[in-house]
Structure 1
Amino acid sequence: MRVLIRRRALLAAAVVTTTGSVAGCDPLGGKQAPQWSPAPDVLLPLLTRTVALRDRYAAVLTAFPALKERIGPLKDDHAQHVIALAREIGLPEAGPFPAPSGAAGSGAEPSATSMAVPNEQSAALSDLAALEKVAREEAETACLAAPSYRAALLGSIAACRAGHQEVLT
């Protein structure tokens, strides 16, 4: 029995010594281990387009300051959507936000901010209404595809955007 206890003690000492010496060496011979990076969040394209929509409202308000009472609150809603989506994804609320790579629709159509603001107020409102319709549809699609813990957020964004369409038309 004493021999068995001594052997276990010697084995434990050998394991500790070996583990300590191996832990200090570089098994890859000086090469860096490949870094793991998670896949981008599926909500990143929605966040990016929400930022563009918020900025589009800002551009229209700059061109037509008289619309502040009508569409200023809508721009503020989109600013809150940006914050909520950024929090959900785990990004800083104020950005900067990474561009979604390989996202469906990225680069295929002009973004909300790349188009010039129309010269007429009614055309600018029609433009915003069309952008809101696309944004609502996108939020609905994301809501239906999202896991349950994200559905409430995305559903409320979709509902808000539907309300925006009504205000704009």
Structure 2
Amino acid sequence: MSDSGHTRRRVLGATGGLAGLVTLGGCGLFDDEPEPPPAPDALQPVLDEALALAGSYERLAVTQPRLAPFGQAHRAHATALADVIGTTLPAGSAAPSAAATADTVAALRKAELAAQKTAVAACKAAPAARAALLGSIAAARATHAEALR
């Protein structure tokens, strides 16, 4: 025992307890701030484009029924992407309107080409488990764009 009344065991115990509190304080145990929301999944932009393309095709298919399968393909892609991401698709879709003036074949082709680039970029950055799905979506989008020429 030292002159101050502190034993080596007591000093080491107090130091260990203090280190434990500092560690707990650093891990957020005593923080009052909520956890930040998780970052959106990297596939979300591909999913959003699939839904937008499906809606555009559905609106245009009212006057051009030959385009309906393209919209169905994009709906299938959206379903597969939602399954991989672990999210649910929005309930229902907007009813196709005969007054789809913003949706033209030329606009759809341009949208398909842009969406194909998004899918290719996502495919390059994706882990192997997601790359096959993204590759098939990119190929489908390129095929749709060519069919719209």
Does the TM-score normalized on the shorter chain lie above 0.5?
Answer: yes
Displacement after TM superposition at 1:35 (Å): 3.9
Shifted more, 155-164 versus 48-57: the winner is 48-57
Displacement after TM superposition at 1:129 (Å): 1.0
* CA displacement 1:39-94 (0-9 Å, x = unmatched): 211111221121111111112123x1xx21x21110000000110110110002x3
Displacement after TM superposition at 1:146 (Å): 1.0
Partner of 2:9: none
- Where in structure 2 are the equivalents of 1:135-146 lying within 5 Å? 135-146=115-126
Q: 1:82 aligns with which of 78, 99, 107?
A: 78
Partner of 2:136: 156
CA RMSD of aligned residues (A): 2.4
Instruction: Establish whether residue 73 from structure 1 lines up as the match of residue 69 from structure 2.
Output: yes
The TM-score normalised by the length of structure 2 is 0.67
Aligned 8 A contact 2:57 2:67 in 1: yes
Partner of 2:44: 44
Displacement after TM superposition at 1:138 (Å): 1.0
**SS of the counterpart of 2:75?**
helix
> Aligned partner of 2:122: which letter?
A
> Aligned partner of 2:49: which letter?
R
Partner of 2:90: 95
* CA displacement 1:117-143 (0-9 Å, x = unmatched): 448xxx821111111111111111111
Partner of 2:26: none
How many percent identity over aligned positions? 39
The TM-score normalised by the length of structure 1 is 0.60
* CA displacement 1:93-124 (0-9 Å, x = unmatched): x326xxxxxxxxxxxxxxxxxxx8448xxx82
Structure 1, unmatched stretches of 5+, are: 1-26, 97-115
Structure 2, unmatched stretches of 5+, are: 1-28, 92-98
* 4+ runs deviating over 3 angstroms: 116-119
Q: How many residues align?
A: 114
